[in-house]
Chain A
Amino acid sequence: MHNLNAIFTIAFRDIIKLLRDRSRILASLIFPIIFIGVLGTSLQQNLGNNLTYNFLTFVFIGVLAQTLFQSTASGIISLVEDRQTDFAQEMFIAPISRYSILIGKILGETLVALVQIIGVILFAFVINIPLDLVSLLRMAPFFLVAAFFGGAFGVMVMAGLSEQRAANQIFPFLLFPQFFLAGVFNPIQHLPLPIFIASRISPMTYAVDLLRSIYYFGKPEYADVVLFNPLIDLTVVIGFGLLFVCIGTFLFVRNERNR
C-alpha cells in the first residue's frame, strides 16, 4: 500500500503539470498535425493510388503509436534533467523504492500521453481521415501498453545516459530514426537487409505494429499493413517493457549512487 500511494501521487503530479501547461499541450499537437496533415495527405494524394489501403489511416495509426511512445519516453528522460535542479531530489530522498518512483513516473507520463492523443484523434476527425470508430475504440486499451513501452524504453536510455547533457543530446538520435524504422509513415514490409535488421530491433516497431494489428484485425488490408500477429507484438511489448524497466531501474540506481 505504501508504494501504491507514492506511485499514484507521482503519476498524478504529471497530470496536474500537463493540465496547467497550455503551451505544452499545444506543442504536443504540432508534430502529429504536421505528420498527419502535411506528410500524410501529400503522400496519400500523390502515391495513394498505388496502394491497396488508405495511406492517411495508415499514417494516423502510426502517429498515434509514435506519439504515445515518444511522449512517455521523453517524460522519463526529463527525470534526468530534473535531478539536479528540481523536484527529482525530493523524490529520491523519500522512503520509497526506486522502482516505485520510475513506475509512478511511467504511469504519469502514460496518462499524459493519453491526454495528448485526444487532440490528435480530434484533429483526425476534423480533417476527415477515414477512420473506423469501433476499431479505434478497440485499440484504446492498447494505447496504455504502447505508452508504457515508450516509458520502459526511456528508463533504459536514461540508465545508460546518466549525465544530463548526454541524455539531452543523444536521446533524439535514439528516438528519431525509429520513426522511420518503425514505419510510422512508411511501409516497412520490404527493406534492404541492414535496415530490415535495424527496423526489427527498434522497439517502436512493435508499439506501432501492435496498434495497427489491432486496428486492421479482420479487415482486408490486414496482410498488407501488419507485420506480426497482435499476440507476438503484445508479448514483445510487455515482455521487453518489463525487462527494460527492471534492468533500467537497477542500472539507474546503481549509477546514481556509485558516482
Chain B
Amino acid sequence: MPNSHIIEVTNLVKRYKKAEVNSVDNVSFYVEDQAFFSLLGPNGAGKTTTISILTTLLAITAGRATIAGFDVEKHPDKVRQQIGVIFQNPSLDLNLTAEENIRFHVSLYNQFRYMPVFGLMSAEYKKKILTLAEVVGLEHDLDKPVKTLSGGMKRKLEIIRSLMHQPKVLFLDEPTTGLDPISRKNLWRYLQDIRKKEKITIFLTTHYLEEAEHSDYVCIIDGGKIVAKGTPTEIKESLIKRYILVDSKDQIALKKELKALRLSFSGTGPFAISIKSATGQEIVQKLTTSLTLLDIHNPTLEDAYVEIITKNNAQP
C-alpha cells in the first residue's frame, strides 16, 4: 500500500437519477489504517449513500474512492474482499440457523468449501466460528434458527459473520438502532475487543453521538457536504464554549463580584462564566460570594454536533 490511509475519498460526488441536488457533494476525507472513524449527520445527509459507494453497491457520479488501495469503481471484487459490512437493516436469513448464515457467508467468499451439513465443514472453519462466537458470547446459540434470536444477538451474529473473512475495514451503518441500552453497551464492548484483536479499521455511522465519542476521527456531514472534521476533542473545542455555572442566594452580590473580576458571563442567575484564559479552578478560587450552585459544563460531542448542524442550517 502506498500510504497508511486505508480509505481515501477524493472529491466524491453522487447525484441520484432524477435528483436535482447532489446527495454527496464534493466530499474528501481519509481514514487511517486501524482507526475508528465516525461519519455523523442528520437523516438524509448522505451517510448511507457514502457507505453504499464505499461498499461498491452504488456507482460514483464523480470523484474517486479507494479502499486498501483498490478503486471501488475499477476493482469492486478486490474491495469487497477487504470489507465487512453491517447494514442498517439486518441482512440475516431468518429461515436458516445462526451457523448456517455464517457457513453461507464463508462459502460465498470462497474461504471454505460449502457442505450441506455442519459436520462436513472443515475443521478450520469450525474452530474459527467457535473462536469468534466465544468473543461475543454466542457459542451456545449457533444451532438456533435466527428467527428465535433477540435483536442484540442478531447483531452479534452479523458481527461474527462480517469478520469471518478477515476484512481490513468493518463498515457499521447505524448498528445499534433498535437495541436497548444494555445490548448497545455490550455490543460496543465486543466491538472494541474485536477491534484490538483483529487490528481492524472501523467505519461507523450512528445517531447515538456517545458511540462516536471514542472515535479517533469524526466527520460531520450535512446536505452532502462535510461541515466539520477532526478528533472528537478538536470538534468540541473548536465550537463549544466551556463554562462554569454558578448561582447564589445573593444573586446581586454575585453579579457584582463577577463584574468586578471582569469575567465574561451570561444569564441572570444562574450565571454561566465562560472559561477561556483562566482554568475553572482559578475562577472558582477568586469567588468569595457563597454559592448554591457550582457546575462545570463539559460539552459532549452531541452538544457540538447539534451546534454545528443548527449553524449550518441557519446559513442562507
Contact = CB atoms under 8 A, between A and B. Distances in A.
B227 interface: no
Interface in B93-130: 93, 95-96, 100, 104-105, 107-110, 113-114, 116
Nearest to A97: B77
23 contacts: A6-B108, A8-B114, A9-B108, A12-B116, A13-B104, A17-B95, A85-B89, A86-B91, A89-B57, A89-B85, A90-B91, A93-B85, A94-B80, A95-B78, A96-B77, A96-B110, A256-B57, A257-B57, A257-B58, A258-B17, A258-B59, A259-B16, A259-B59
Contacts of A91: 108
Given A5-B114, A90-B91, A94-B105, 16 more contacts: A1-B110, A2-B110, A5-B110, A6-B108, A6-B110, A8-B114, A9-B104, A13-B104, A16-B100, A85-B89, A86-B91, A87-B93, A89-B85, A89-B89, A90-B93, A94-B108
Contact of B57 (A17, A21, A86, A93): A93
B38 interface: no
B285 to A, nearest CB: 58
A20 interface: yes
Interface of B: 16-17, 55-59, 77-78, 80-81, 83, 85, 87, 89, 91-93, 95-96, 100, 104-105, 107-110, 113-114, 116
B107 A6 contact: yes
A31 interface: no
Contacts of A92: 57
Contacts of B16: 259
Contact of B77 (A13, A17, A89, A95): A95
B93 to A, nearest CB: 4
Contacts of A93: 55-57, 80, 83, 85
A84 interface: yes
Interface in A69-118: 84-97
Interface in A116-133: none
A1 B107 CA distance: 11
A259 B58 contact: yes
A87 B59 CA distance: 21
B81 A12 contact: no
Interface of A: 1-2, 5-6, 8-10, 12-13, 16-17, 20-21, 84-97, 256-259
Nearest to A92: B57
A10 B96 CA distance: 13
A5 B107 contact: yes
Contacts of A8: 107, 114
Closest 3 A/B residue pairs (Cβ): A9-B107, A95-B80, A94-B108
A62 B183 CA distance: 54
Contacts of A20: 95
Contacts of B80: 93-95
A89 B105 CA distance: 12
Given A5-B114, A93-B55, A86 B93 contact: yes
Nearest to B57: A92
Contacts of B55: 93
A94 B15 CA distance: 25
Nearest to A19: B95
Contacts of A13: 93, 96, 104
Contacts of A88: 91
Nearest to B53: A257
B105 A21 contact: no
Contact of B108 (A1, A85, A96, A257): A96
Contacts of A95: 77-78, 80-81, 109-110
Contacts of B91: 86-90
A89 B100 CA distance: 16
B233 to A, nearest CB: 34
Nearest to A4: B110
Contacts of B85: 89, 93
A259 B57 CA distance: 10
B298 to A, nearest CB: 40
B59 A257 contact: yes
B14 to A, nearest CB: 9
Contacts of A90: 91-93, 104-105, 108
Contacts of B116: 12, 16
Nearest to A101: B108
B17 A259 contact: yes
Nearest to B80: A95
Given A12-B114, A89-B91, A94 B109 contact: yes
Nearest to B60: A257
A258 to B, nearest CB: 5
A242 B276 CA distance: 72
A128 B105 CA distance: 46
Contacts of B114: 5, 8-9, 12
Max chain A Cβ within 10 angstroms of own Cβ: one of B16, B93, B116: B93
A8 B77 CA distance: 19
Nearest to B113: A5
Contacts of B58: 257, 259
A84 to B, nearest CB: 7
Contacts of A259: 16-17, 58-59
Nearest to A86: B91
